[in-house]
Amino acid sequence: MGTPGTAPAARPDEGLDTGLAAFLAHLAIERQASPHTREAYRRDLGALRDWMAGRGLEHWPALDGAALRAFVADEHARGLAPASVQRRLSACRALLRWLLKHGVLATDPSAGLRGPKAPRKLPQVLDADEMGQLVAVPQEVPLGLRDRAMLELFYSSGLRVSELCGLRRADLDLAAAEVRVLGKGRKTRVVPVGRFAREALAAWLAAEPAPPAAPLFPGRDGAAITPRAVQKRVRQLALRQGVWKRVHPHLLRHSFASHVLESSGDLRGVQELLGHASIATTQIYTHLDFQHLARVYDGAHPRAKRRP
């Protein structure tokens, strides 16, 4: 029996379902992963469990390196996109390392295994003019104060949609021009809030007084607005404001990161602001910055005129 507050460790003689359930409990209790993250692991690892069961591999120690390679190859062969196979393999690695740590496995079957190479997709961004057009929500219309404050904060501070939805009024310090955010892995960071966002937030807070523990952006029932509701609202606002790109909350985060990096060149600073655990995640914005410079070069240099 495990100690209170810890996930039960799976044993070598336990079946696939029991070991998987113990790992998912570990994610929930010890790593405090979000429901969305746990569901993604459940889906990806469920595919591995079903694949193993279909081949008579009834316990986790039966999964060796050759079997795991065959699983990855089968997933790719049945049409799963390379990025999805990579994500599935990453979930498998997390489970297998946990089983190794708890003595269920003698070796890690995923050691040295690589998934199919996925083409690198650069995120789309809004330029500064498009961002200005998007956030210029008339404040006199219904929900105008809230919507403008929400969009300004998204772009000003580069928040994830889950981070914005989780904010309480006490997390916002307009005098210090900062907001305290609970990010991935339940890690807290403090990020700056720009002048336009502070003005919009001050107008919103003055119009809707509430205690410090109240959600900064409540939904219809008074509870915190949901990520799905924010996604839908951002799309509606983009259309209303005449921004014809497919706008979603993460696009505002991408735009924030790209614009800050373009102006500052400080990759480590952008990493801190975004709350990325690895700078490799942040480096994608250097490619966006290079694309911008390449366009400037092509348009300005008399002997450039490179083909696309």
Residue burial 172-186, b: 16+ Cβ < 10 Å; e: rest: beeeeebbebbbeee
Give the span between the Cα atoms of 244 and 17, in whole angstroms: 47
- Secondary structure (3-state) at 218: strand
- Secondary structure (3-state) at 178: strand
Instruction: Identify each DSSP E strand in the chain by its residue range.
Output: 172-173, 178-182, 188-192
Residue 235 burial (10 A CB sphere; 0-12, 13-18, 19+): middle
Q: How many residues does the chain have?
A: 308
DSSP string, 69-129: HHHHHHHHHTT--HHHHHHHHHHHHHHHHHHHHTTS-SS-TTTT---PPPPPPPPP---HH
Active site residues: 160, 184, 250, 253, 276, 285
Give the span between the Cα atoms of 110 and 89, in whole angstroms: 8
Q: How far is CA 119 from the centre of its chain?
A: 19
- Backbone torsion region of residue 155, taken as left when φ is above 0, otherwise alpha when ψ lies between -120 and 50, otherwise beta: alpha
Q: At what angle do helices 35-54 and 82-101 cross, to 10 degrees?
A: 90
